[in-house]
Structure 1
Amino acid sequence: MNLLLQVNMSSGHSSAPPKETSIGILAAAVSRLEQTQMPIIFGSGTLVTVLRQMADEFPFPVDKILSNPRLFEPLITRFMERNPLTNAIIRTTKALTIFEAGIKVNVIPSVAKATVNFRIHSGQTVQEVLELTKNIVADNRVQFHVMTAFDPLPISPYDDKALGYQLLRQTIQSVFPEVNITIPGTCLGNTDSRFFTNLTTGIYRFNPYYVQPEDLKSFHGVNEKISVQGYENQVKFIFELIQNADTDQEPVSHLHKL
């Protein structure tokens, strides 16, 4: 969801400013929004399955904790919310991306606007997030305008009968033999895959590329790049995925047809 927050106040000369201005009111509103995180949603989505499936990859006692995620939910979520990447898996995230106000140094602007980008957790809806946002801002002078929004897509099947998921797993093991396990996950980025919901319930977002911690800082930022080897692996993966899908023999019984 892209949400526009707007404050309309009287304009005037900066030599005699009012107690509050449109910029000040809006700045306080988005500050409250930044400082207040959305509620943790732990049991919805793929997270519990992911933790259990990857538990054996960790030494004791982490393996026991991940094997019993519901029992150790407070400990796991406390650890995950320390990192922005894993924090985005357990709750809806929000980011202030555009702030617009003022045109002249000695004029108090009558209008201040801010755009907030939300990535809605699969366990929430647009309406729920909008109501939470209004309660956090808690200022009737701030207007809310939904620019674009859509509810999270249904979770695609990832069991042994899901043909699409099994094709991905087969190809991953072929192209990346060093990978021990393949597990489902959550795609944090928005993609065009939502336009395929009228064709199938099996929609998988996967990028066959090793992402290093330093790579994350360059996404949509300075020096965004991909290594030559990473690019070659992507081409190889897509080629093999198409070949694996082009077969008369079905690898497993499944719910969906390509």
Structure 2
Amino acid sequence: MGRMTATLSPGTLRDERAIARLQELVRIPTVSRPPDGPGPRRGPEPFERFIDALPTLYPLVHEHLTRERIGDAALLYRWPGTDPTGASTPTVLMAHYDVVPATEEGWEHPPFAAVITDSGPDGDEAVLWGRGTIDDKGCAAAILESIERLLAAGFRPRHDVLVSLGDDEEVNGRGARAIVKVLRERGVRPSLVLDEGGAIVSGAFPGVDEPYAVVGVTEKGITTLRLTVEQQGGHAASPPPLAATERLARAILRLNARPARARLDATTRLMIRTLGERAKPALRFVFRRVDLFAPLLLRVFLRTSPETRALVRTTRAVTELRAGHAANALAERAEATINMRIAPGTSVAEAVSEVETAIDDERVTVEVLEPSEPSPVSPASGEGWEAIVQAVRDVHPGLMVSPYVMMQASDSRWFTAISDHVYRFAPFRMTADERACLHAKNERIRVPAFLEGVRVYEALLRQR
């Protein structure tokens, strides 16, 4: 770590130790795999090692906060506030410490080595490489680091602060659901919940060149579909006109040719108006009048990028294909898994109906697995929202902050059952390339961006 001293700004020992703690957590391979998915099942050892490491890494947190283990390995911390009436309306900071699988193939640095380089592909800032640096051990470490620093400074919040660390967000979120169940039984109704989600970005919104922060006030629903074709097999030497695999392929192509209907929901319209205030003059005129120019803006968003397309419609992605048992035999069963993200203003039922209409084949069975509707919309105003905005601007003066629809699914969706103020924001600067590395190879975070995130959490907690 000594060579980092010249890279960090300022190069404090405290910051170096913060980065070293994140490195240690990234090196623990807390990989979640679904029970029926490929590869070895999730084992308890890395999760136990992660839990055991936390008291050593963050001693003040574990001296002053209580810690409960809920479900298999989810963690709930409580930091009592000075006002006892605030116990039922706490601030909840959330993260998860499980990660998606990663092999070393294609990575510039091994995914669980937590290597630091003096610079990276996104500029000349030091970079920490590894699975979980952004999704989502970066947030977990930044939250704990911020509390450790505030405790060292003698700070105590006015109302209770809870820290929820999920252990299985990447597969089913049962840990977070169990925490919500416990809090509901205790009569807790959080005044503010903040989980992973948006970030400080640039270049993602047409016509706006400067950086801005996007905070999720809602998130898309998530639903898995299983498409299945079952029909007579036989020898591959005499195939029928449409075998099971070809019928399934045709269904997928039909789906691709008929995407879900695009629309501008209320949150996206507010985002357009907010960010549009800093757009180039010609576009600013249009963005301010989003309701009038909605058909034009829909066409722009559909053509700009995958991110803007996903903002305005339910998305479908074919993630798994299964068929056949031999190279020279026709498959008797062919399956495809479709991952759908359901746009606000629509429903799982509507999305499934669109799929069935597009496929238009009675021999393709559509099975709905684990449906989850879009989350309720939290207000982009009021005390909770303004606290997030102020914390961001304390660290990044003058930065635009806008609501948006989070396109991924997070553990925070379970907290909407007990709070009307649930937000999704990871307080880090992220380039388009860094965002593209989520669930992919070469996941990484810039060291200064992580340290800025720690400061944002500190600024937020000082208001609570």
Question: TM-score, normalization: structure 2?
Answer: 0.51
Distance 1:233 1:116 in 2: 37
Matched, 1:222 2:441: yes
Distance 1:39 1:244 in 2: 42
Q: Which runs of 5+ in 1 are unaligned?
A: 246-258
Q: For residue 417 of structure 2, what is the aligned residue in structure 1?
A: 198
Q: Mean Cα displacement is larger for which, 226-235 or 119-128?
A: 226-235
Matched, 1:68 2:289: yes
Counterpart of 2:453, as a letter, is Q
For residue 261 of structure 2, the aligned residue among 25, 39, 61 is 39
Q: Percent identity?
A: 29
Name the SS for the 2:422 alignment partner. coil
Name the SS for the 2:254 alignment partner. helix
Q: For residue 73 of structure 2, what is the aligned residue in structure 1?
A: none
| TM alignment of 1:165-180, pairs within 5 A | 165-179=385-399
Q: For residue 184 of structure 1, what is the aligned residue in structure 2?
A: 403
Q: For residue 210 of structure 1, what is the aligned residue in structure 2?
A: 429
List per-residue Cα deviations over 1:72-115 (Å, max 9, x = no partner).
12221111112110111111111111111112100111000000
Counterpart of 2:319, as a letter, is T
List per-residue Cα deviations over 1:53-83 (Å, max 9, x = no partner).
2222022211101011122122211111121
The structural deviation recorded for 1:217 is 2.6
| TM alignment of 1:142-157, pairs within 5 A | 142-157=364-379
Distance 1:154 1:144 in 2: 27
Name the SS for the 1:70 alignment partner. coil
Q: For residue 56 of structure 1, what is the aligned residue in structure 2?
A: 277
List per-residue Cα deviations over 1:103-161 (Å, max 9, x = no partner).
210011100000001111011010010111100111000001111111111110112xx
| TM alignment of 1:9-28, pairs within 5 A | 9-28=231-250
Distance 1:103 1:225 in 2: 39
Name the SS for the 1:71 alignment partner. coil
For residue 117 of structure 1, the aligned residue among 339, 344, 355 is 339
List per-residue Cα deviations over 1:31-73 (Å, max 9, x = no partner).
111222111121x231111212222202221110101112212
Counterpart of 2:289, as a letter, is N
List per-residue Cα deviations over 1:205-229 (Å, max 9, x = no partner).
0111222122233221121111112
Distance 1:175 1:104 in 2: 59
Counterpart of 2:386, as a letter, is Q
Matched, 1:134 2:353: no
Distance 1:176 1:60 in 2: 24
Distance 1:184 1:128 in 2: 25
The structural deviation recorded for 1:178 is 4.7
Q: For residue 312 of structure 2, what is the aligned residue in structure 1?
A: 90
Distance 2:343 2:359 in 1: 20
Counterpart of 2:298, as a letter, is T
Q: Mean Cα displacement is larger for which, 168-177 or 48-57?
A: 48-57
Counterpart of 1:54, as a letter, is L
Query: Do the aligned partners of 2:273 and 2:288 also contact (CA within 8 Å) in 1?
Result: yes
Q: Which runs of 5+ in 2 are unaligned?
A: 1-222
Distance 1:177 1:187 in 2: 24
Distance 1:12 1:240 in 2: 67
Distance 1:219 1:235 in 2: 20
Counterpart of 2:410, as a letter, is T
Q: For residue 54 of structure 2, what is the aligned residue in structure 1?
A: none
Distance 1:145 1:73 in 2: 34
The structural deviation recorded for 1:196 is 0.8
Query: Do the aligned partners of 1:45 and 1:155 also contact (CA within 8 Å) in 2?
Result: no
Matched, 1:163 2:403: no
Name the SS for the 2:228 alignment partner. strand
The structural deviation recorded for 1:234 is 2.0
Q: For residue 27 of structure 2, what is the aligned residue in structure 1?
A: none
Query: Do the aligned partners of 1:97 and 1:116 also contact (CA within 8 Å) in 2?
Result: yes
Distance 1:196 1:24 in 2: 43
Question: TM-score, normalization: structure 1?
Answer: 0.90
Q: Mean Cα displacement is larger for which, 201-210 or 233-242?
A: 233-242
Looking at secondary structure, tell me which structure has more strand per residue: 2
Counterpart of 1:243, as a letter, is R
Name the SS for the 1:226 alignment partner. strand
Distance 1:2 1:163 in 2: 36
Distance 1:14 1:213 in 2: 45
